[in-house]
Amino acid sequence: MTLFEKIIAREIPADIVYEDDRVLAFKDINPQAPVHVLVIPKQSIPRIAEAADHDQDLLGHLLLKARDVAGKLDLKENGFRLVINNGPDGGESVPHLHCHILGGRALNWPPG
Ligand code: 5GP
């Protein structure tokens, strides 16, 4: 069981900001910006490179809920960034697909 599956199962506590039958959003434990939330599918897809074509609806739902959570956290006006890290070069550290929502300050580009 991955760390994020344990959060979904409430075996590990998390500061949850949104939940429905398909996705869970919670605050990152090591925030890189004033607002740093992770949105994850409840279905265990290890990373975006491993998503299947039939995951299309779920992935669309994930993205739209990231939009909603960003709005709920007052990021719409100033903007925010969505990030999906994939594999070693992408900086992925938890093998359960997750979309970072980062906001509350101006973010640099390109990333390091
Ligand atoms: P990745 O590096 O895989 O893109 O992102 C994983 C994220 O999960 C990191 O930003 C890290 O801070 C966060 N994280 C790791 N362990 C925990 C945890 O136990 N609880 C929460 N809420 N976030 C975690």
The residue nearest atom 17 of ligand 1, judged by CA position, is 29
Other CB atoms within 10 A of residue 62 CB: 23
Residue 110 located in a structural domain: no
The structure's pTM equals 0.98
98 is catalytic: yes
The confidence score (pLDDT) of residue 55 equals 98
Residue 83: which domain range? 3-103
- Mutating to test ligand 1, I would choose from 30, 39, 40 the residue with most ligand atoms within 8 A of its C-beta, which is 30
Residue 48 located in a structural domain: yes
Residue 111 located in a structural domain: no
Number of domains in the chain: 1
CATH of the domain at 71: 3.30.428.10
The residue nearest atom 13 of ligand 1, judged by CA position, is 28
pLDDT tens per residue across span 37-84: 999 999 999 999 999 999 999 999 999 999 999 999 999 999 999 999
Cα(44)–Cα(41) distance, integer angstroms: 7
Residue 112 located in a structural domain: no
Taking residues 94-108, report their average pLDDT: 98
Q: How does the average pLDDT of the chain come out, rounded? A: 98
CB 37 within 8 A of CB 73: yes
pLDDT at 112 over 90: no
pLDDT at 17 over 90: yes
